[in-house]
Amino acid sequence: MATLESIAKDLNLSTATVSRALRGARGVNKATRTRVEVAAERLGYVKLRRQEMSKDIAILVPSKSHSDMHELARRHMIAISDEIAKRGWRLQPVFMSGDHQDFEAVLDGRGEQFGNSGRPADGCLVIGQLPSAEDDPHAVQKRLAERFDGNVVMICRHDVLHGISGVSQMNYVGGTQAVRLLLDAGHRRIGWVGSLGSRDSAEERLGGVLTQVIRTPGASLDCQIWLDDTKLLPTTYMVELFAEALPRNRADWPTAWVCSTDWLAAKFIIWARGQGANVPADMSVVAFDNTRVSEELAETIITSVVFPYEQIARKAVELLGSLMDSPTADSIVWTLPPRVRVGETVGQRK
């Protein structure tokens, strides 16, 4: 019996192109589609109904291995694996260290065909950010969308302008929620500690912070500090950095701080204690993400803006299924709002 590979070899086409043509998907011109259909009939290819086929799903993970995954990525993976299993699909994690060489391997081989089915991947999920090229920042998104016929869903992000759907966390809304909590506690002088390692998300959160500050009479964002949290941040470095950024007189420091990740918040709280400041008696701190490792590091329950990561992951699988069942559908964005988890790091302004 003919296979996609034998048809592709007969026509000197890629397996992915043959698959797209037989599925009626985007990206195949009429002449090529006709050639493929004629060859499939000539070679005796039997096309299974889509609902009878188990789907192969690639998932791109920004880490070297499963054991190296960030806590939030692991939470995504658990929820995704459960949803994939419920649908009877096959999941193939592709671990990438974040450089272009790894991603090229996905586009040129591992992302096209894997597992025991011998069929091209039906769709792709993406955890984290995609690498970008200096000459064209969106080249990766365009190639990924083309490779998988637009059946690509990013988790917590999207790029609909370049064919990438996504279930997006509402970072901007989270920023407004964080500041509103501090304003309600009587704080008006706000400080910001941002992550260079996840700058896109951090800047979206900062946008919400700034908007809420501007809308509130008497409120101000007095200080912005950005840290590269992809590297180790020893206490001595934190001391030097904050000494340069903050006034000498502690009375002139912001009384409340928003940190773009709770790991940065944990490091900030440790630094503050070293300066003789008490959190929340002397300064309040709000962060994002609610990871266990950060609270263990800070030895306190950090007040955090929490995104529904498990629900986002499940919705990403649902959205991917919808795209695969509607080959001509445009890219789509779904959003899920965050909530504030009140901890022990916000106090009333004295």
pLDDT tens-digit map of 132-183: 665 666 777 777 888 787 888 888 877 766 778 889 889 999 999 999 999 9
* 155 and 96 belong to one structural domain: yes
* Residue-level pLDDT at 13: 87
In a domain, 344, yes or no: no
User: Is the separation of the CB atoms in 54 and 117 below 8 Å?
Assistant: yes
227 touches 194 (CB < 8 A) = yes
Lowest pLDDT segment from 47-51, 88-92, 105-109, 307-311: 47-51
Give the residue carrying structure tokens 């008696």. 281
Residues 179 and 278 in one domain: yes
Q: Which domain holds residue 224?
A: 171-306
Q: Quick one: 13 and 72 in the same domain?
A: no
Asked if the model's pLDDT at residue 223 lies above 50, the reply is yes
- Which of 66-70, 71-75, 129-133, 145-149 ranks highest by mean pLDDT? 71-75
In-domain check, residue 349: no
Q: Dihedral angle at the C-alpha atoms of 296, 300, 304, 310, nearest 10 degrees?
A: 40
Residue 80: pLDDT band by 50, 70, 90 thresholds? Answer: very high
- The answer on pLDDT for 99 being more than 60 is no
Residue 68 has pLDDT above 50, yes or no: yes
Q: What is the CATH number of the domain that holds 259?
A: 3.40.50.2300
The larger pLDDT score, comparing residue 132 to residue 89, is at 89
Q: In this structure, is residue 348 part of a structural domain?
A: no
Confidence at 102, pLDDT banded by 50, 70, 90: low
Strands 165-169 and 189-195: unpaired
Q: Which pLDDT band holds residue 117 (cuts at 50, 70, 90)?
A: very low
Report the alpha-carbon distance of residue 324 to residue 313 in Å, rounded.
17
Number of domains in the chain: 3
Q: Is residue 93 part of a domain?
A: yes
Q: 71-86 vs 309-325: helix axis angle to the nearest 10?
A: 40
Number of other CB atoms surrounding residue 340 within 10 Å = 16
Angle separating helix axes 30-43 and 15-23, nearest 10 degrees: 90
Cross-strand partners of 58: 92, 124
| Average pLDDT in the chain | 83
Average pLDDT over residues 50-59: 68
Residues in the chain: 350
Q: Are residues 42 and 102 in the same domain?
A: no
| pTM, two decimal places | 0.76
The answer on 256 and 200 residing in a single domain is: yes
Structure confidence at residue 346 (pLDDT): 96
Find the CATH number of the domain harbouring 17: 1.10.260.40
- Confidence band (pLDDT; 50, 70, 90) for 185? very high
Burial code (b: 16+ CB inside 10 Å, e: under 16) for 66-80 equals eeebbebbebbbebb
Residue 220 has pLDDT above 60, yes or no: yes
pLDDT of residue 200: 85
Q: Which range among 62-66, 100-104, 191-195, 279-283 shows the weakest confidence by mean pLDDT? A: 100-104
Band (pLDDT 50/70/90 cuts) for residue 110 is: very low
The answer on 213 and 180 residing in a single domain is yes
Check pLDDT > 80 for residue 121. Answer: no
**pLDDT tens track for 315-333:** 999 999 988 887 666 778 8
